[in-house]
Structure 1
Amino acid sequence: MSSLQQNILNFNKSLSYNFEGGNLSSDSGLIIIRSFVEKLGLRPLLEDAFNDSAYRVHTYASIIEQLVYTIISGYHSDNCSDSLRHDPIFTNILDKEALASQPTISRFINSLDETAIEAFNRLLEILFERANPKRSTKQIVLDLDSTLFETFGTQDKSAYNFHYASKGYHPLMLFNGLNGDLMKIELRGGSVYTSNNIEAFLKPVLEWLEEAYPNTQILVRADSGFATPALYNLCEEFGVLFVIRLKANATLKKYSEDILREFEDVYGKDYSKHHVMYDEFPYQAKSWQKPLRVICRIERSPGELLARATFIVTSLEAEPKVVVKAYNKRGNMENFIKEAKIDFSMKSASHSSFMANTIKCLIKALAYNIVNIMKRTALPKEHQSCRMLSLRTVFIKIASRIVTSARRTTFKLSSNYPWMRQFQKIMEKIDKLCFS
């Protein structure tokens, strides 16, 4: 313990500090998360999916639940659980005398296998169904993308990725582009190509959606890394629409020569404004089974000398301008990926085992989805578009003192908390929620 002399503050010699305030908590806002999770019914789902043993002090389900809360709170290292073992907020919301320690968590993470991956994927599906009611869900946009999770050690299957010019993992991610729900994630080796194994990744999702949402229009949206016949054929097999960007090649450029000449005739000397033209034509690459509709957009921004051509293959029957607009909205996915990687530390791959990193990634996906669903169903409008970094500061990091009597435990939150009224409104809204 530091001496009193060491703890005197240099800006005011009459002030000092120590860590003897008692059994307090700085994460009292987790009672919001716990109340929301109760409505979602997460705990019974975890207990059904990971029914290892009721006689363990820390069951698999309870460890997953603990990790969900520590991740949401911003404690991304398992070592933090040792310091939080007797935190009164964590122990009360988890109904535990003490949290699972780092060694216990590590043994759990390293004990799971492929069966656990299937269980997590099913959990993500169930949460999606509860948060997206079948009767009111008219459209689902499946945004596909890959990203890089950097690694800095000797993790299994970590490899150099030339596209990102860095070493790490190269996971596939699937979001609902309309609301940001993470529907599936698959961790892959770092050197795997973007669209590799896309059929095996997406087909189970389409099978599930075909059964769960038979009357819902589904659109698959992806960039040029996924422009592969396997994906087109899969979409057609399930009657799913698609809009996918194509990489420019000599043949596509030849098809666009007429519209490019027209563009130059109309806008050739005007470099002061943004100009755009659209065209469409049937196109069949050598590897395609049949011709498909391709939209061509010719665009030039103010100050640019040369026009740029963008090619999009699609099964949509809408006007070219509408198709391009629909494709451009996939830009929101970059924000979803950014929040998942940074705010939920999904990019961290701290285990040496590839399977362990996969399991930890799926637990983080679970935490991400819980918060994402809560944003649109329980938070005020002004906070629904906030990232988890902001929400953590506003609604999670609240100081409190816990008072226990014979009949009740009370969380006495800071009287100086600035968002007291919003906090109470959120709790009231959660009480009225009902997820079937």
Structure 2
Amino acid sequence: MRQSTRSEPQSAKFASMFEQEVVATFDASALTSDAGLLALGALDRKLKLTERLCASLSDGRQAGKVSHTHHDLFRQRVYAVAAGYADGNDARSNRADPMFKAVCDRDPVSGRDLASQPTLSRFERSVGRREVVEMGRAFEQERISSLARRNRGARRVVIDMDATEDQAHGQQTFSFFNAFYDGHCFLPLLAFVSVPDDPEQVLFAARLRPGTGASHRGVIPLLRRAVAQLRREMPKARILVRMDSGFVTPRLLSVLEELAVDYVLGLPGNSVLLRRSRRFVKGLRKQVQATGLAARQFGEFSYAAGTWERERRVVVKAEYLPPPARGGNGKIKRNLRCIVTNLKSSPRHVYEVDYCDRGDSENRIKELKEDLALGRTSSTSFLANQLRVLTSATAFALYQEMRWELRGTDLARAQTSTLRMRLVKIAGQLIRSTRRILVRLPKACPDAGTWCRLARRLGAAPA
């Protein structure tokens, strides 16, 4: 358990390690190590993201006794996750941080501290099912609208959906043993929307789901809502839906065709697909043996599984791979993939361009899990855990918008961890006067120019 260090100043003296004696003390006031959080707070105000998500929250507390509104509590958690403080216990230290107080509209010097960990936990557990659902819907609508606003003339928009493992290590509600992942887990559903001319895959849904059951749980209602909104806001765009084999069901295929969208979906292997794909692998093994290089061939055929009402186009990628340079069993490996699609382009183009690009969403999921604590679902309440997932998703949305505002800079495609390290983790001193709050940042900050450019794009003027 982390012990408090606020009772007395902490210090360290380096008597003989440097040319002169060096003494370090933790006793300076109104200083922060997260001064760059000011830009994220300004970005949130520009988008009104946390405000819109909290609009559906009802507050039954006595107004005269409320010290922290639900909006304050939610954005405190969002900003903390964005700054790298994923655990609710981190509120013990950052609730008094002057920059956290400033971005939550409190006086950074003399203002009341932000919420404590117990208050944040009570807030998480107080949010009801309907409110969590409405917050998720508001997130969907805002994120799709954000993409649409800057891509009105797009001719193609792509929806990617994927599931990911969220390991559970306790007795969380609806965390079950999953044989595929060989452990107890949740299976969150994550959905992204993008256009070819904008490399950002915008996260528009993050739904926590039980650890067992079908991967396609909840996909069709989400898909219907997304397609309807995209048709309203991007009427010129043709919609392409991409998913892996875990999502394919006869019902999903019928709904995709009912919605009149393009689709390219992975197919789980079976004996029929294997038998019908054999003609595409002929000669590939000999080619690998002769050249030592991978050999690949594409083909297609019409196919209907026993539960499908009709045949559909199946594209095949047949490939043989040479033995790995190190390790392995020294044998040539066959790699066969089948996808079902209604696209008309060549099999190679369908697979290599239309389908394989969906793999980039794995990088976005990695950012969510490793940088923004998507898997911090340790509450015994399933709804509280869903709120935590939405908190991480909201922090990620702010970073995605930051990347957009940083277009034309060397950080336009930077990962979340890089953006946090270079633009948020900046030392600063906050000084309050009767007219303003002055934030003094290091003159030697290597990214001062980029940070100021970001601030200008968010509406700040030269001081």
- Quick check: TM above 0.5? yes
Q: Does 1:126 align with 2:147?
A: no
> Could you tell me which residue of structure 1 aligns to residue 74 of structure 2?
64
Of 401, 422, 443, the match for 1:415: 443
Deviations 1:140-188 (A, max 9, x none): 2111111111111111111122111222211111112552211112211
- TM-score, normalised relative to structure 1: 0.92
Equivalent position of 2:38 in the other structure? 31
Whole-Å Cα distance in 2 between the matches of residues 269 and 27 of structure 1?
A: 57
* Gapped regions of structure 1 (runs ≥ 5): none
* CA distance in structure 1 between the aligned counterparts of 2:254 and 2:24, rounded to whole angstroms: 66
Q: Are 1:73 and 2:83 an aligned pair?
A: yes
Q: 1:300 is matched with which residue?
A: 320
- Structure 2 residue corresponding to 1:165, chosen from 166, 170, 182: 182
Q: Shift of residue 338 of structure 1?
A: 0.4
Bigger mean CA deviation after superposition, 110-119 or 300-309:
300-309
CA-CA distance at 1:70 after TM superposition: 0.8
**In the alignment, structure 1 residue 377 sits paired with structure 2 residue 398:** no
The DSSP-based 3-state class of the residue aligned with 1:57 is coil
Matched, 1:86 2:96: yes
Corresponding residue of 1:198: 219
Cα distance in 2 for partners of 1:137, 1:108 equals 41
Following the alignment from structure 1 to structure 2, what is the Cα–Cα distance between the partners of residues 264 and 148?
35
Identity of paired residues, percent? 28
Tell me by how many angstroms 1:380 deviates.
Answer: 4.5
Quick check: 1:428 aligned with 2:428? no
1:242 to 263, 287, 301: 263
1:213 aligns with 2:234: yes
In the aligned structure 2, how far is the partner of 1:182 from the partner of 1:248? Answer: 29
Deviations 1:26-60 (Å, cap 9, x if unpaired)? 10001111222222133542453335377532111
Task: Find the aligned partners of 1:5 and 1:339 in 2 and give their Cα distance.
Answer: 34
Structure-to-structure mapping, 1:40-51, within 5 angstroms: 40-42=47-49, 44-46=51-53, 48-50=55-57
Partner of 1:270: 290
Cross-structure match for 1:316:
343
* CA distance in structure 1 between the partners assigned to 2:181 and 2:454 by the alignment: 41
Cα displacement string for residues 300-347 of structure 1 (whole angstroms, at most 9, x for unaligned residues):
234463543211100111111110011111110110100011111011
What letter is aligned with 1:172?
L
Q: Does 1:340 align with 2:361?
A: no
Quick one: which amino acid aligns to residue 33 of structure 2?
A: S
Contact 2:148 2:234 in 1 (8 A): no
Change (3 A) 1:103 1:268: closer
Q: Is the 8 A contact 1:40 1:127 kept in 2?
A: no
Are the aligned partners of 1:172 and 1:187 in contact in 2 as well (CA < 8 Å)? yes
Amino acid at match of 2:85: Y
Aligned twin of 1:400: 428
- For the aligned residues, what is the CA RMSD? 2.5
| 1:229-271 deviation line (CA, Å, top 9, x unaligned) | 1211111111111111112211112212322236468x37524
Runs of 4+ off more than 4 Å? 1-6, 262-265
Q: Would you say 1:181 and 2:202 are equivalent positions?
A: yes
| Residue 390 of structure 1: how far off its partner (Å) | 1.2
Question: Which SS does the other structure have where 1:188 is aligned?
Answer: coil
2:316 partner SS: strand
Match of 1:114 in 2: 129
Task: Answer yes or no: is the 8 Å Cα contact 1:379–1:426 preserved in 2.
Answer: no
Post-superposition offset of 1:282 = 0.5
Contact 2:35 2:425 in 1 (8 A): yes
Q: How many residues align?
A: 432
Q: Give the residue type in structure 1 aligned to 2:227.
A: L
After superposition, the C-alpha distances for 1:94-137 in whole angstroms (9 at most, x for unaligned) are: 11232111121111110112222222223222133034326234
1:170–1:192 contact (8 Å) kept in structure 2: no
Which ranges of structure 2 fall in alignment gaps of 5 or more residues?
324-330
Q: Which region of structure 1 is more displaced relative to structure 2, 97-106 or 36-45?
A: 36-45
CA distance in 2, matches of 1:3, 1:61: 33
SS of corresponding position for 1:192? coil
- Counterpart amino acid of residue 335 in structure 1: N
Between the aligned partners of 1:34 and 1:5, the Cα distance in structure 2 is: 30
CA contact (8 A) 2:160 2:243 kept: yes
Distance verdict in 2 for CA 1:412–1:302, change over 3 Å = same
Contact 2:300/2:315 (CA < 8 Å) preserved in 1? yes
Shift of 1:211: 3.5
Asked if 2 retains the 8 angstrom alpha-carbon contact of 1:177 and 1:330, the reply is no
Q: Distance in 2 between matches of 1:3 and 1:249?
A: 67
Supply the distance in 1 between the matched residues of 2:451 and 2:241 (Cα, whole angstroms): 37
1:207 Cα deviation after fit: 3.4
Matched position secondary structure for 1:382: coil
Residue 275 of structure 2 corresponds to 254
TM-score (normalised: structure 2): 0.87
**Could you tell me whether the CA contact under 8 Å between 1:140 and 1:177 is conserved in 2?**
yes
Letter in 2 for 1:279: G
What SS does the aligned partner of 1:104 have?
A: helix
Distance 1:236 1:36 in 2: 39
